[in-house]
Amino acid sequence: MKNLLYIFLISNALLISCSGSLTKVSEEDISVSVDDINRPNFITLNNNVVNDGKFDDVKWQLPSGEIIDSLRSFTTYFPQKGDYKVLIHFTKGNKKTVVTKNITIESDDPYYSKGEVLVWNDEFDGNSLNENWWFNETDIHVNDEWQIYTPGKNINISDGILTITAKKEGEGQKYGDYTSGRLNTEGKKEFLYGRMEIRAKLPDGRGTWPAIWMLGKELRTIDWPACGEIDIMEHVGYDPKVINSALHTTSSWGATLNSGKTTIDTYDSDFHIYGLNWTADKLDFYVDSPDNIFYTYNPIIKNKDTWPFDQPFFFILNFAVGGGWGGKEGVDDTIFPRNMYVDYVRVFQPK
């Protein structure tokens, strides 16, 4: 999931205290990694001993005092250079060991230096969905898709990865013969402007249709497409390597004219960042780096028909099967199950 950390990092593990006899945690038991060597300010600390049954509980205490409960790993963000300490509390029964990890960050996050701050992120640590941020959307059938969205059985969180699995449950080739998952943050996490980044690995196979997108919070009052839709990433399995982004408004929707595309050879084998830089003037879509823009939406005339993008939007992550676009060239039933993997969702906004 995450590449080894290549920046200069000072780390050690020190047994602070314990009650009674308890397996000692060595430096080798706590490894450090980052998801992208070009973004080394996001640090992931990995506990490598949980599966041995040595501990019942692990908590990660940040320099701010915030405590995160996660047995396997924890990802945190240090935007500025400096020395930091993270305390890892290991518990077995009534015995406790505290390990200190001393981390040196060599440089500021360049985007932080440019005036951006991380305002929300889900690194999918732990082993369950954060229901304060997300909910499973189930009672929805759109675009002539064939899957049924379940309340949770097609969603898994493990080792810092969200997995959405599409399964063939019936004979196939019709609605209801497949199940999958759809998550959104409506009413929980909604944002107006900012840089949105989602790191994901996509499924392959004819008939798959994963998407990372956003809808305007006014959906329930003015309906679609008047509320606006931002498709950060859409991929259809019959057109491998092609990544699509689009905008839907009352001026152009459905087979919208406002769209762009790029190609990624390793869309199904490697994680890539699917990004949106959204300001009051335009929306830039990019892959892997904010400098790698492949489509910009910036209408000359901005009104309610062309620019509903002046209100907060919420995230949707879903994996469809078939449908008007995804199933345009049929669905290959031999491919299932198939997985869509999401490493994180991050939102940056100006300070």
| Closest of 188, 199, 155 to residue 345, by C-alpha | 199
What's the average pLDDT block by block, 10 residues per block, for the chain (351 residues)?
40 39 66 76 81 75 84 84 89 85 87 88 91 96 97 93 97 98 98 97 98 97 97 98 98 96 97 97 96 97 97 98 98 98 96 86
**How many C-beta neighbours within 10 Å does residue 181 have?**
26
Does the CA dihedral 215-220-221-225 come out positive or negative? positive
- What is the per-residue pLDDT for 23? 66
Q: Fold for domain 3-113?
A: Immunoglobulin-like (2.60.40)
Rounded Cα distance, 204 and 200, in Å: 13
Domains 3-113 and 135-350 share a fold: no
List the structure tokens of 42.
């996001």
- In the block, tokens 């950390």 appear at 5
CA pair distance 81, 41, nearest whole angstrom: 8
Q: How far apart are CA 168 and CA 29, in angstroms?
A: 40
For residue 23, what are the CA distances in angstroms to 92, 102, 145?
A: 9, 21, 52
* DSSP assignment string, 64-86: TS-EEE-SSEEEEE--S-EEEEE
Amino acid 2: pLDDT: 43
Domain boundaries defined on the chain: 3-113, 135-350
Residue 282: the pLDDT is 98
Q: What angle do CA 94, 159, 90 make, to 5 degrees?
A: 15
How far apart are alpha carbons 115 and 19 in whole angstroms? 46
Active site residues: 229, 234
What is residue 106's three-state secondary structure? coil
Residue with tokens 């999958």: 180
CATH code, 135-350: 2.60.120.200
How far apart are alpha carbons 199 and 272 in whole angstroms?
Answer: 5
Query: For position 104, what pLDDT does the model report?
Result: 87
